[in-house]
Amino acid sequence: MSSFDVVVIGSGPGGYISAIRCAQLGFNTAIIEKYAALGGTCLNVGCIPSKALLSSSHHLEEMAHFAEHGIEIPGDVKINIEKMIARKQEVVDQTVAGVKYLMGKNKITVFEGVGSFESATVLQVTKADGTVEKIEAKNTIIATGSKPSSLPFITLDKERIITSTEALKLKEVPKHLIVIGGGVIGLELGQVYLRLGAQVSVVEFADRVLPGMDATLSKELTKVLKKQGMKFYVSHKVQAVKRAGDVVTVEAENKKGEIITLEGDYALVSVGRRPYTDGLNADKAGVKLTDRGQVEVNDHLQTSVPNIYAIGDVVRGAMLAHKAEEEGVMVAELIAGQKPHIDYNLIPGVVYTWPEVSAVGKTEEQLKEAGVAYKMGSFPFKALGRARASGDLDGLVKVLADATTDEVLGIHIIGARAADLIAEAVTAMEFRASAEDISRMSHAHPTFAEALKEAALAATDNRALNI
């Protein structure tokens, strides 16, 4: 039986990054992945393919503005969805190959098969042909991730009633895509098909889309997406999803108790994801799960068994690739006896629609609920020279700072390149900057980042300059 200092189960961004950090720290490391392709949800059916399709379809959206930039295209523009999906797959394959290379480079042993516990120190790898290999692990890191969840009354046929996984490889542009759940994944994939010409209706149970983010961002994004043609049914509780041939009907109850019926050709069920521990035999090692099915961990990401850790989507907290990565690094360093720390308040959240949406820290709603005295400054993109030059006028930056100390408590951005702009906000908050600190830093002109400086000025003393 081969023996390792650390065995990681699952090769998503949590698992593979953790394995690399373990190897860097000198541990004899192995990783078990049940699929032939490494990289987990994020690389195969999550972050990377969705961003590839968002980028492809964004080119099309930009074309709508070509004429105002003085660019004329002779003839009609045609969409080749097969080619678009094939390009997405090429991007995925290259990224996945990169992870395989990194495993080799770091001398990490890769086992292909389902990993399960025989005991707290012995793992089994069940391969596709049914053979079982046993390996010994001084420490194990569970990084088994998550799977799309659904509603109890929905039968996912994966043809017309689909999850994000199928939505990333459709063979045709839907005529009418009904998106159940107005969270990040539903809005991103909804916008892909909206751009490609589908009618898109979003049905959301809460009274706004992106219910976890600052309400200003939800409001602004809804406004822009409506302008682009997306339809919203918020405060609607989906009650039934049925398929007859190529027709899918979704019945939802509104606030007045009335049932509305939407008819489309595809329904995308994007109501969240569930932690995935199927086949892991966690109980054989004594690893406890929470009543929500997550692996229970303490502040050191240690499970109920001291030499077994868990990270990423399978434990509490935001289901985000970069959160999983931070946890992967943290666990490796903890095993090495170091004292790493993650500030979960500073894990940014991003929606890759266009305009992009990003946030870090507390929302205004959270500050109100906690009774924190705060001040707010905001600045619209339309007052930015850079935004006018490119024509990306939608959006704003909102800075929330402590009313007394001026420490930045939250930054919320919607607009062009918000996904990249949030890095400045995270840096500032990591170093506990005040709004005035940000406002006194030189920001290159003309850039979208100037909106952050102006919003910080507005929060400091209501003294934004360019408005």
List of residues contacting ligand FAD (CB under 6 A): 9-15, 32-35, 40-42, 46-47, 50, 114-116, 143-146, 164, 185, 276, 279-280, 312-313, 319-322, 324, 352
Nearest to 356 by CA among 388, 385, 313, 387: 387
- CB 231 → ligand FAD: shortest distance, Å? 21
Closest Cα partner for 204 from 224, 187, 229, 228?
187
Q: Is the Cβ of residue 312 or residue 355 nearer to ligand FAD in the bound state?
A: 312
Distance CA 202, CA 441 (A): 41
* Sheet with strand 408-415: strands edge to edge: 349-351, 356-361, 408-415, 396-402, 374-380
Q: Is 176 designated active site? A: no
- Nearer residue to ligand FAD within complex by CB, 42 or 396: 42
Taking the complex as a whole, the smallest distance from the CB of residue 70 to ligand FAD amounts, in Å, to 34
Rounded to a whole number of angstroms, the minimum distance from the CB of residue 33 to ligand FAD is 5
Q: Are 310 and 295 in contact (CB under 8 A)?
A: yes
Whichever of 265 and 326 has its CB closer to ligand FAD, that residue is: 326
d(C-alpha 197, C-alpha 92), whole Å: 24
Decide: 304 and 288 in contact? Cβ < 8 Å. Answer: yes
Q: Looking at beta carbons only, is 115 or 190 nearer to ligand FAD?
A: 115
Q: Please state, in angstroms and rounded to a whole number, the distance separating the CA atoms of residues 268 and 49.
A: 16
Closest to 389 in 3D by CA, of 371, 356, 362, 416: 416
Give me the least distance between CB of 168 and ligand FAD, in Å please.
7
Distances (CA, A) of 162 to 144, 173, 190, 192, 375: 22, 14, 13, 15, 43
Minimum CB separation from ligand FAD for residue 96, in Å?
10
For 59, residues 6+ apart whose C-beta sits below 8 A from its C-beta are none
41 or 57: CB nearest ligand FAD: 41
Active site residues: 445
